[in-house]
Amino acid sequence: MSLAVDLAPGREPGLRLRNPVMVASGTFGYGTEYAGLVDIQRLGAIVCKGTTLRPRRGNPTPRTAETPAGLLNSIGLQNIGVRALVREKAPIWAKWSVPVLVNIAGESTEEYAEIARILDEAPGVAGIEVNVSCPNVAAGGMTCGVDPVLAAEVTAAVREATTLPVMVKLTPNVTDIVSIAEAVVGAGADALSLVNTFVGMIIDINTKKPLLGAVTGGLSGPAIRPIALRMVYEVAQAVPVPVVGVGGITDTVSALQFLMAGAAAIQVGTATFVDPNTAADIIDGLGDWLEREGISDIREIVGAALPKDA
Amino acid sequence: MIRTDALVLSNTAVAGDIFLLRLRAPEIARDAAPGQFVEVRCGSTLAPLLRRPISIHRIGPRAAGYAPDEIALVIRVIGEGSRLLSRLREGDTLDLLGPLGRGFRLFPGTRRVLLVAGGLGLAPLVALADEAIAHEVNVVLLGGAETACRILPPQYLPPEVEYQVCTEDGSLGACGMVTNLCPPYLEWADQVFVCGPEAMLPPVVDQLRALAQGGRRLPVQVSLEARMACGMGVCLSCVVETRHGLKRVCRDGPVFDLTEVRVW
């Protein structure tokens, strides 16, 4: 039985994962934090914390709030910067068998390209996830992800700057995610991941003010799952590249739904905070499910729920 | 640090809306240090979704009257998560992740410690009291709360502890803020440990500043509280400004030297 998938089949050496279960950016640090608790080498891939050219302090606190079946966050891309990442983290990853993708965010197209260039020479980096979807920063982030022209421009610049597999992470905070997806794929993305968080807010009725320090934040967790699933279903029909489904996946059943909606792989995010072993449990669960169903290759079920004439 | 299903041994209403939860959790009891916490899954459904960070109140091997494989937590009912915890019964299990964070550091030469607790900030300080008593250190614990039913009764503390309480409404002990009780003990103590609402820190800092002018610099550790999501140092929700930049309360703390987070 095979769980293996390739997220950059058009590229040599591709982005081959031993299984389709990844952990999402911002929920797994640099991979090392969970190493004592989770057998991280079993994971399909790890996507590290969103990384900028220079270190970032992030947003004021409070930065998170729980909502019904969801988590609202406005961390604001606090991170160590790409040079420290290459110096301190990538050498650790180079010794791992699990592929690590670096999620990158720039304040301009040039900055995205520069980060990609710096990562291109780093051992231990298996690929780049281009974050054109962070809702919690003023410059860059989601502002490029809501405009097909800008999103394509950033994608093309990153594509030009590196030979690494390039996956672009899309924001759901748009009218038509398919048009953004098509533009980004047209600009050379090897794969797409969707979705990032939905912009939301919460008000503290005692202070009569927004609870989060940054006023708004991004909503993740099971609360967003049906919307994320619908978007994956739409995008998977429209683009020829692998789509990675993200948004409220907590268990094998929800992972299977995204695969059947056309996702070649999935990412587990917020659920890791609830149970750090969620991704590992889903890997086991997918294997068991395939065996029960008598299916020998996970790729057979990818897109099983898509319209047959698509 | 592990994830484990702890067995609920007892759940007792000890005062007002405060519950004492005794759990069998052998690995956590073995590994935990005073000041560390566990991330508790309050229910099994998607709401409440996240674990709740809760200080370890007693650590079996050091706590009189506890088995070596036990820990205790103190819960105050505030929201849905703590309400679910308050309803746990003997024989239930509770999904824990821990022990987490950096705890209190009792120095080898210390003979007298002052523990200053605001509200449920008392919880981890009792684990520290147990540790101190095991090292034959004298312990004074000052506990303050809004009102009498928020004060942990003395029978739940080790008998060796000198326990002084105060309430903001004067319904039990002295009337006022717990920090008002500190000054005489600051002359006495070798080390001070503070846990409670952030508002406790400015008066403590003022008192220490006065003390420092007299040439006495007293080492103070403070356990901070912050909104957390992961408890593992990953999500960066719980950051706090320190002398060395932003630090994570969950991983770099929750216990910090006061000089790290406040200048005096």
Reported pTM = 0.95
| In a domain? residue A154 | yes
**Is the CB of B230 less than 8 angstroms away from the CB of A277?**
no
Contact status of A276 with chain B (Cβ, < 8 Å): yes
Encoded amino acid at B260, one letter: E
The complex's ipTM?
0.93
Contact status of B3 with chain A (Cβ, < 8 Å): yes
Nearest to A29 among B226, B229, B233 (CB): B233
Query: What's residue A143's pLDDT?
Result: 80
In angstroms, the Cα distances linking A43 to A102, A244, B222 are 15, 15, 38
Peptide bond preceding B153: is omega within 30 degrees of 0, i.e. cis? no
In angstroms, the Cα distances linking A35 to A40, A65, B1 are 6, 26, 11
**Is the CB of A276 less than 8 angstroms away from the CB of B232?**
yes
| In a domain? residue A152 | yes
Contact status of A61 with chain B (Cβ, < 8 Å): yes
Q: Is the pLDDT reported for residue B264 higher than 80? A: no
**Is the CB of A250 less than 8 angstroms away from the CB of B3?**
no
| In a domain? residue A84 | yes
CATH number for the domain spanning A82: value is: 3.20.20.70
In angstroms, how far is the first alpha carbon of chain A from the final one?
A: 27
Query: What's residue A91's pLDDT?
Result: 98
Contacts A277 to B, Cβ<8 Å: 3
User: Å from A180 to nearest chain B CA?
Assistant: 28
Q: Which residue of A has its CA nearest to B240?
A: A61
| In a domain? residue A206 | no
Residues in chain B, overall count = 264
How many A-B residue pairs are in contact by the CB < 8 A criterion? 88
DSSP letters of B183-247?
A: HHHHHH-SEEEEES-GGGHHHHHHHHHHHHHTT----EEEE-----SSSSSSS--SEEEETTEEE
User: Å from B236 to nearest chain A CA?
Assistant: 7
Block means of pLDDT (10 residues each) for chain A, length 310 residues? 96 94 98 94 98 96 96 97 98 98 96 97 96 81 88 97 98 96 98 98 97 97 98 98 98 98 98 97 98 98 89
**Is the CB of A222 less than 8 angstroms away from the CB of B234?**
no
The helix or strand, by DSSP H or E, that contains position A279, with its residue range, turns out to be: helix A278-293
Mean of all residue pLDDT scores within chain B: 96
Contacts A65 to B, Cβ<8 Å: 227
The answer to whether B57 touches B127, Cβ cutoff 8 Å, is yes
Kindly indicate the confidence band of residue B263, based on its pLDDT and cuts at 50, 70 and 90: low
Query: What's residue B262's pLDDT?
Result: 76
- Specify the residue for token string 């919880």: B123
**Is the CB of B246 less than 8 angstroms away from the CB of A37?**
no
Query: What's residue A139's pLDDT?
Result: 73
The answer to whether A192 touches A178, Cβ cutoff 8 Å, is no
| In a domain? residue A113 | yes
Contact status of A84 with chain B (Cβ, < 8 Å): no
Residues 92 through 131 of chain B touching chain A, CB cutoff 8 Å: 97
Which of A15, A21, A75, A134 is labelled catalytic?
A: A134
Beginning with the edge strand found earlier in the chain, give each strand of the sheet holding B37-41 in spatial order. B52-55, B37-41, B93-100, B2-15, B18-24, B70-76, B58-59
Q: Which residue of A has its CA nearest to B230?
A: A273
Contacts A75 to B, Cβ<8 Å: 235-237
The pLDDT of B39-56, averaged and rounded, is 96
User: Å from B179 to nearest chain A CA?
Assistant: 26
Q: Is the pLDDT reported for residue B117 higher than 80? A: yes
Query: For residue A284, what are its two tokens?
Result: 């086991």
**Is the CB of A270 less than 8 angstroms away from the CB of B246?**
no
Query: What's residue A18's pLDDT?
Result: 98
Contact status of A222 with chain B (Cβ, < 8 Å): yes
Query: Mind spelling out the 3-state secondary structure of B99-119?
Result: EECECCCCCCCCCEEEEEEEH
Q: For chain A, how many structural domains are there in total? A: 1
Contact status of B48 with chain A (Cβ, < 8 Å): yes
| In a domain? residue A211 | no
Percent of chain B with pLDDT over 90: 95
Q: Using one digit for the tens of pLDDT, what is the confidence trace for B203-240?
A: 999 999 999 898 988 999 999 999 999 999 999 999 99
**Is the CB of A250 less than 8 angstroms away from the CB of B46?**
yes
CB proximity list for A50: less than 8 A, separation 6 or greater: A25, A26, A77, A79, A103, A104, A105, A131, A134
Whether A48 sits among the annotated catalytic residues: the reply is: no
Contacts B247 to A, Cβ<8 Å: none
| In a domain? residue A287 | yes
The pLDDT of B253-260, averaged and rounded, is 96
| Structural domain that includes position A186 | 5-58+78-200+221-300
| In a domain? residue A187 | yes
User: Å from A278 to nearest chain B CA?
Assistant: 12
Contact status of B78 with chain A (Cβ, < 8 Å): no
